[in-house]
């Protein structure tokens, strides 16, 4: 639809700023293009009203509003309680326990080569003795019965 040359005057009338409202009203009844402009502007205005609802604080609400702001500023930060506190305490306890364990046990044992240790060895064979020794690589303990007639080690 082609735009009417009256459209600007119609828009001013729509905004309540027209100096010739009767003339515009008469024109709108005769011009479908301007009638469509008015309709479009009406829809736009309704949409804007629906989205932007202006919040206003009544004078009677002001003290409570200010008090809310002051509380938000002055209230101390919320303390961590419950699960967070328990987790923090547990972690701290673990650190302390591990530290104490390390102190009292001397920490983990150094990696040393272990080998089998013979605590005792004996025999009921008459006249025989038992000797023990390690293999050259120290990995094998040798426990040997030396019989009276023959010694092999």
Partner 1 sequence: MNLAAAFVLLIALVGPTDKPATGAIAVTMVAVEATDDAGEANAKREKHFSADLDVPTCNALKELPYTNFRKIAAGSTKTDFEREARLRIDDTYTLCVAPLSKDEKGLIRTKVWIEERREDADAKEPVRKALVTTVKAVSGDKMILGGLKLKKGDLVVALTLKG
- Binding region for partner 1 (CB under 8 A): 85-86, 89-90, 92-94, 96-98, 100-101, 104-105, 109, 114-125, 128, 130, 132, 135-136, 139-147, 152-153
The secondary structure of residue 75, as a DSSP letter, is S
Query: Shortest Cβ distance from residue 76 to partner 1 (Å)?
Result: 21
Least Å distance between CB 68 and partner 1? Answer: 34
Q: Is 139 helix (H, G, I), strand (E, B) or coil?
A: coil
Angle between the N-to-C axes of helices 32-51 and 7-14, in degrees from 0 to 180, rounded to the nearest 10: 40
Question: What token pair was written down for 94?
Answer: 């673990």
Nearest approach, Cβ of residue 93 and partner 1 (Å): 4
Alpha-carbon radius of gyration of the chain = 51
Q: Of the two residues 42 and 133, which places its CB atom closer to partner 1 in the complex?
A: 133
Closest contact distance (angstroms) between CB of 107 and partner 1 is: 13
Residues 134 and 140 sit within 8 Å (Cβ to Cβ): yes
């Amino acid at each position: 639809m082609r735009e009417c040359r009256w459209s600007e005057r119609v828009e001013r009338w729509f905004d309540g700023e027209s100096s010739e409202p009767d003339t515009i009203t008469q024109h709108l009844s005769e011009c479908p293009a301007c009638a469509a402009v008015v309709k479009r502007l009406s829809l736009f205005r309704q949409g804007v009203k629906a989205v932007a609802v202006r919040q206003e604080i009544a004078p009677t609400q002001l003290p409570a509003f200010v008090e809310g702001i002051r509380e938000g500023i002055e209230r101390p930060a919320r303390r961590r309680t419950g699960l967070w506190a328990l987790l923090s305490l547990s972690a701290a306890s673990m650190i302390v326990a591990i530290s104490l364990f390390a102190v009292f046990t001397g920490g983990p044992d150094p990696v040393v080569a272990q080998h089998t240790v013979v605590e005792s060895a004996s025999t009921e064979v008459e006249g025989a003795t038992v000797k023990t020794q390690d293999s050259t690589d120290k990995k094998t303990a040798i426990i040997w019965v030396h019989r009276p007639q023959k010694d092999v080690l």
